Amino acid sequence: MVETSRDGARLAPGTIAGAATSNAATLSCDPSKRFQQITGFGGALTESSAYVLKQLPEAQRLEVLKRYYDPREGIGYTLARTHIGSCDFSLSTWSLAPSPGDYELLDFSLKPMQRWLMPLLRDAHRIAGADRFKLLASPWSPPAWMKTNNQMDRGGSLREEYAATWANHYVKFLRAMRDEEKIPLWGLTVQNEPEANQSWESCIYTPEQERDFVRKHLGPTLAREGFGGIKLYGFDHNRDTLEKRADAMLGDAETAKYMAGMAVHWYVSDDYAAEARVLKKYPGKEVLFTEGCVEGGAKPGDWMVGERYARNMFGDLNAGVCGWIDWNIALDMRGGPNHVGNFCDAPVLVDTKGGKVLYQSSFHAIAHFSRYVKPGAHRIELSGGPKGLQSCAFANPDGSIAVIAFNPGDAAIDFNLDIVGEKHGCRIPAHAIQTYLA
């Protein structure tokens, strides 16, 4: 058993309390009843994260990446998300296709990514291992000249006359990453947060517009150019309107055939059941969690940040989500840099002046899942248990079982844990997360 708690434990090894007791509720695990397969866990490799980590001495920078991605020393990350073009967590606004009217994308180039972002992607890919690393990419906006408002920020929409060109832009990116950088992409989302008109890079699609872009342009283009095997996820936004977007996209057979499923963020809504409803309605499709962070700037040492992560991970995974990707892997002590002042917290904060690295409660909360639930694991049935305890369980490909429990309350909880008929008495302190291994 390993434990992280508000009172100071951080992935601390421990022992199960003792023999089962008759007066405690039993949490029962049944590995024969299996649910979704787990793709993995990871975080976002943004230009801001790349910049912040580059302010550290190289050995210290690589240590952070190893703590995340190294299969032996790290916490089990295999997934990563990055941005096609700039996002709010970039140092400035930039595009990979800057020339207006460039229908053939003759001026497309990865050059804007080379100084900060690409070294981070290369190192994460190398440290994780090419066979384990799965990179997902999302655009925050097409180039300004392709949009109705002629700017990358403040919403606007894709001009219909540029829809084919924009679809080709994804292919250009995929091909350049594979052939020039030797980092093949695992997946794409169509558009980051298509319902948000932001002061930073953004682009609005109605459900029908996103459906039609995939059906008429992006899906056929990926298939024609040899990228039909790329995992394509729609929506990439909050749970509150997930079902409406899924009905438009997955409910249309010509669109759905190109799609792996839908991607979700945690802002606005905690309606995890919406994910379960979509998965039930569209069997064979996936829901992937692709972004969550605590907004309002860096919160060094704040235990409740970790609890928010835990609550969301239990909610999403128990609803059927197949993988979980955090937002920025590292930010500075302000929660940036962010070129529009949209500062946020991150699991790793870097004191760029003092050269110190702070591993936050959120880092350890994620680790209780990512280190012990391996890619290819299946969520398994977990029933019963005491009131106030959140829990989930997984069977790994090697046959091992991981049971994760979370007590957000102010008093310790005693319970029995029954794994395949072997029952143990357990105690979880107040405000603590535990992972039990069998």
> Which residues carry out catalysis?
193, 291
Q: In 3-state terms, what secondary structure has residue 331? A: strand
Which helix (H) or strand (E) covers residue 66, if one does?
helix 58-69
Taking the CA atoms of 295, 336, 46 and 347 in sequence, report the sign of the dihedral they define: negative
250 Cβ neighbours under 8 A, 6+ residues apart: 234, 256, 259, 261, 262, 278, 281, 282, 285
End-to-end C-alpha distance for the chain, whole angstroms: 9
356 Cβ neighbours under 8 A, 6+ residues apart: 350
DSSP 228-248: TTSEEEEEEEEGGGHHHHHHH
Distance CA 138, CA 121 (A): 14
172 Cβ neighbours under 8 A, 6+ residues apart: 96, 97, 105, 108
Q: In 3-state terms, what secondary structure has residue 54? A: helix
Q: Do 434 and 3 meet the contact criterion of CB atoms below 8 Å apart?
A: yes
Residue 276 neighbours by CB distance under 10 Å? 16
